[in-house]
Amino acid sequence: MREIDFIELFLRENAAYVRNKFNDKSGLTVSTKAHAGDLLTEVDLTIQKRFVDKVTATFPDDIVVGEEGEFARYPRPGESRVWVIDPIDGTYNFVRGLYPVFGISIAFTVNGECIAGGVLLPMSDDLFLAERGSGSYHNGHRLRVSDVRQANEACIQVDFSDLEDRKALIKRALDMLRTVGQLRSIGSAVASICQVAMGEAEGYLHMSLCPWDYAASQLIVEEAGGMASRLDGSPLRLFDNRSGVLITNGAIHREMLGLITP
Ligand code: 2AM
Ligand code: CA
């Protein structure tokens, strides 16, 4: 089975489970991780476990890394075919019922490069798929970033994940916050990045993302003509122990980098 088809099948098969859990949270187990706003639910764990089991059954030699538990690690030397899952991106939104926007994100990587990626927003049934070199699609329609060329006309999304992130954003991105046309914060990196791919927003800035937060959506936005980098403009790679992420429609990328303090 092709990896992109495997991703699509898994996302479609699990959408109803996540929707049902969102709609009936009675008895839902929720715990905290790094801080009070960093939540973990049984849904995150169940989706990740279902995915690991399915990869093991279909591609027995492949590796899975992901946000939760022992899977939250980088690939080791020699581990080349690696799947990267964020079972629920936007867990806080899921638990609180915000908007409601959250996504399942799955990337297939070879030697640290994403080859195929998929994001599903279960509540709105938005499915994003991309294969390297073949474009990206939203519910079957080809995606293209917007052609907005100036930051003061752009809609930029940020996330205020924890206190350190907020301090870093204020310290390094105040000029950006004061310049851009519109600012939004919806609490799901994958949803925000896919909005850039759709041309609905022009950029996404986060001071500290993990690889599973952007592995799939980076490919989706790049295949739609967008651009992704670290905050100093260097290439955005998956497993390099760095964390700042700037994703844009490409046209405003250089201006945005100039609005971020080194
Ligand atoms: P998550 O829901 O998978 O944890 C807004 O919080 C966005 O930033 C979400 O996509 C969230 O992903 C991500 N994020 C990254 N680090 C975070 C942290 N320490 N606390 C909360 N959210 C974090
Ligand atoms: Ca998550």
Whichever domain contains 104, its CATH number is 3.30.540.10
Measured CA to CA, the distance from residue 10 to residue 239 in angstroms comes to 24
User: What pLDDT was estimated at residue 248?
Assistant: 99
User: What pLDDT was estimated at residue 117?
Assistant: 98
Q: Show which of 142, 160, 179 is a domain's final residue.
A: 142
Residue 189 pLDDT class (50, 70, 90 cuts):
very high
| 63-66 and 81-89 strand pairing | parallel
Q: What is the pTM of this model?
A: 0.97
Our answer on whether the CB atom of 86 is closer than 6 Å to any ligand 1 atom is: yes
End-to-end CA distance of the chain: 44
Looking at the fold, whether 15 and 136 belong to one and the same domain comes out as: yes
User: What pLDDT was estimated at residue 19?
Assistant: 98
Q: Show which of 115, 142, 169 is a domain's final residue.
A: 142
State which residues form the domain around 233. Answer: 151-258
Q: 246 alpha carbon to ligand 2 midpoint, in Å?
A: 19
Looking at the fold, whether 9 and 136 belong to one and the same domain comes out as: yes
Please, is 86 exposed, middle or buried when counting C-beta atoms within 10 Å of its C-beta (0-12, 13-18, 19+)? buried
Looking at the fold, whether 86 and 195 belong to one and the same domain comes out as: no
For ligand 1, pick from 44, 65, 161, 214 the residue to mutate: most ligand atoms within 8 Å of CB. Answer: 161
pLDDT digits (tens, 9 = 90+) for 81-122: 999 999 999 999 999 999 999 999 999 999 999 999 999 999
User: What pLDDT was estimated at residue 85?
Assistant: 98
Looking at the fold, whether 138 and 13 belong to one and the same domain comes out as: yes
Q: Taking residues 45-67, what's their average pLDDT?
A: 98
Looking at the fold, whether 31 and 127 belong to one and the same domain comes out as: yes
Split into its structural domains, the chain has a count of 2
Looking at the fold, whether 133 and 24 belong to one and the same domain comes out as: yes
User: What pLDDT was estimated at residue 175?
Assistant: 97
For ligand 2, an ion, list residues with CB under 5 A.
67, 86, 88-89
Looking at the fold, whether 92 and 173 belong to one and the same domain comes out as: no
| Residue 104 β-bridge partners | 120
User: What pLDDT was estimated at residue 218?
Assistant: 98
Q: Which whole-number Å values give the CA distances from 117 to 47, 122, 212, 217, 257, in the listed order?
A: 16, 16, 11, 7, 26
User: What pLDDT was estimated at residue 224?
Assistant: 99
Looking at the fold, whether 51 and 136 belong to one and the same domain comes out as: yes
Q: Which whole-number Å values give the CA distances from 128 to 71, 99, 140, 156, in the listed order?
A: 24, 19, 8, 20
Q: 29 alpha carbon to ligand 2 midpoint, in Å?
A: 15
Looking at the fold, whether 85 and 159 belong to one and the same domain comes out as: no
pLDDT digits (tens, 9 = 90+) for 212-238: 999 999 999 999 999 999 999 999 999
Mean of per-residue pLDDT scores for the chain? 97
Looking at the fold, whether 29 and 130 belong to one and the same domain comes out as: yes
